[in-house]
Amino acid sequence: MRALVTGCAGFIGSHLTESLLDDGVEVVGVDCFNNNYDRPSKLSNLERAREWNAFEFVPVDLARGELEDLVEAVDAIFHLAAEPGVRSSWTARFETYLRNNLLATHHLLDACRRWPEKRFVYASSSSIYGQAETLPTPEEVVPRPFSPYGLTKLAAEHMCSSYRANHGIPTVTLRYFSVYGPRQRPDMAFAQFCRATIDGDPITVYGDGTQTRDFTYVDDVVTATRASERIDAAVGGTYNIGGGSRTSLREAIELLSEISGRRVEVRHEPAQFGDVRDTGAATERARRDLRYEPATELKSGLEAQFEWAGNVRAR
């Protein structure tokens, strides 16, 4: 098998790439190194992948189009490339989100029209739900995005559905919930919390800290993503991929203090535009069709991320 992984130098994409390579799958990895965070960090995410002869890196900007050669050379497509982040998706940067989340997805799907037998796995986000009134939230709930980022991810979901209905492309949509673990993006909460704790700085929390998230460890996300490519019942499906339990930021910080053995000072700032109060994934559909069972509890996952962050800081 030969797989295309877009966003291969990113947090989740690099873990998925390594998992595929570990199992003997050849990987064509694509990344354009957009400037949402520093290029050296993304390059370091690819250090292990580059050790495999079965890994080919192609620096391509998907939004430029003409992607037929990439699609022709592979058996399956994992589309993880995106412009991430809720808070930075407003005003002047919205055009970047449209380009990297919607236009890029359109070009990749359009390239797949000539090979409609190739599975197309799209990485979406819990941000499509917005301020969900039902917790845990099932896939049947009408999405109400609370940020421009969420809007672009939902629009790309509909684009996948349109290409499946019109051109027969076997798409699968996965809605990831608050993914964490080693290599997490520097702007994400746990990455910031770990750095601040290691450096002895205060942790900044936007809001009162009682807001909850369904934190999902990256290895569990990778397992679900790979299952969605292998299992025929997944085609045409949309699946929540969550960690199995909601936890408040306050509780997560207390856990980090326990893991680090350090007193953590918390500084509160006003809630940011686009941040929702709570998220929680109803995962019955993924458990049924993908046989998805999250295996990593928050404490052990946060321990792994804190250890990784310490090693990075020590370099």
Residues with catalytic function: 149
Cβ atoms < 10 Å from Cβ of 159: 18
Give the whole-angstrom CA distance, residue 180 versus residue 182: 7
309: amino acid identity, one letter: A
Three-state secondary structure call for residue 11: helix
Q: Are 100 and 151 in contact (CB under 8 A)?
A: no
Burial of 212 (0-12, 13-18, 19+ CB in 10 A): buried
Query: How far does CA 84 lie from the centroid of its chain?
Result: 8
Tokens of 275: 């941040």
Three-state secondary structure call for residue 39: helix
Three-state secondary structure call for residue 122: strand
Sign of CA dihedral 272, 277, 283, 285: negative
